């Protein structure tokens, strides 16, 4: 066997048994998180100490989504929840998730007695060890991880290149209905069956 044939054979073996990213799928590492961590950030950043370091409050969610995608190359979920009775109130990056980029959008209700809603975006796949699985209820086949933590309902799902979660102190069925109405990527919420904030 000639020298060039041995090199070709070695290259083929290297490609088959490791060393070539062409044959290995590009898999992002799973981001380990806890639903309780997102509920804590919701309570701190949206409820007890609302802040908006990115200065997006009362802004157009579609413009905010496009800006984040352009700046970071990640589809952050900043939906328009106005049909559900909520307005965008702020955006922060307070969730610590290793090297994964995260965004936390929070929404104020138009009706003062209604609860605050948080929508989280995590770059890449995330796993919430303290949340069980549940299938979505209204708009399609989404599968959620969900939990009740400290009086709050939590639901997360994976879509495209990210993991998204919604947190609010509302019944779980209402939270799932709200999450089912969120379209990742275009920042619009389809018509809901009724306003959650009413």
Q: What is the DSSP string of 60-74?
A: -HHHHHHHHHHHHSS
What was the pLDDT predicted at 120? 95
* Burial classification of residue 40, based on how many CB atoms lie within 10 Å of its CB (0-12 exposed, 13-18 middle, 19 or more buried): middle
CB 102 within 8 A of CB 120: yes
What was the pLDDT predicted at 97? 82
* Per-position pLDDT tens, the chain of length 198: 566 665 545 544 444 444 434 444 444 577 788 899 999 999 999 988 888 777 777 778 888 888 888 888 888 889 999 989 999 999 988 888 888 889 999 999 988 778 999 999 999 888 888 888 766 554 556 888 889 999 999 999 988 878 999 999 999 989 988 998 888 865 443 333 333 343
- How many residues does the structure list for the chain? 198
For residue 55, which of 104, 91, 1, 30 has the smallest C-alpha distance? 91
Residue 69: φ, ψ to 5°:
-65, -45
What is the distance between the alpha carbons of residues 27 and 37, in angstroms, rounded to a whole number? 25
What was the pLDDT predicted at 196? 39
What was the pLDDT predicted at 37? 92
What was the pLDDT predicted at 106? 93
What was the pLDDT predicted at 136? 57
What was the pLDDT predicted at 114? 84
Question: Torsion over CA of 117, 31, 181 and 113, rounded to 10 degrees?
Answer: -10
Using CA atoms, how far residue 14 sits from 1, 8, 57, 159, 166, in Å, is 18, 10, 53, 33, 45
Note the pTM of the prediction, 2 decimals: 0.77
What was the pLDDT predicted at 4? 61
What was the pLDDT predicted at 156? 92
What was the pLDDT predicted at 131? 82
| Structural domains in the chain plus CATH codes | 28-180 (3.40.1000)
């Amino acid at each position: 066997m000639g020298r060039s044939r041995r090199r070709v054979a070695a290259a083929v073996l290297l490609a088959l048994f490791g060393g070539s990213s062409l044959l290995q799928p590009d898999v992002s590492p799973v981001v380990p998180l806890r639903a309780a961590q997102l509920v804590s950030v919701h309570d701190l950043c949206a409820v007890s100490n609302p802040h908006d370091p990115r200065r997006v409050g009362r802004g157009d969610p579609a413009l905010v989504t496009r800006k984040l995608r352009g700046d970071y190359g990640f589809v952050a979920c900043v939906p328009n929840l106005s049909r559900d009775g909520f307005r965008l109130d702020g955006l922060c990056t307070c969730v610590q998730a290793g090297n994964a980029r995260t965004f936390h959008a929070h929404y104020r209700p138009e009706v003062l007695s209604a609860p605050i809603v948080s929508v989280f975006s995590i770059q890449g796949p995330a796993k919430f060890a303290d949340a069980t699985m549940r299938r979505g209820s209204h708009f399609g086949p989404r599968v959620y991880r969900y939990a009740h933590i400290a009086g709050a309902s939590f639901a997360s799902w994976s879509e495209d290149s990210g993991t998204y979660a919604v947190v609010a102190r509302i019944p779980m069925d209402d939270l799932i209905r709200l999450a089912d109405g969120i379209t990742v990527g275009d920042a619009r919420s389809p018509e809901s069956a009724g306003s959650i904030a009413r």
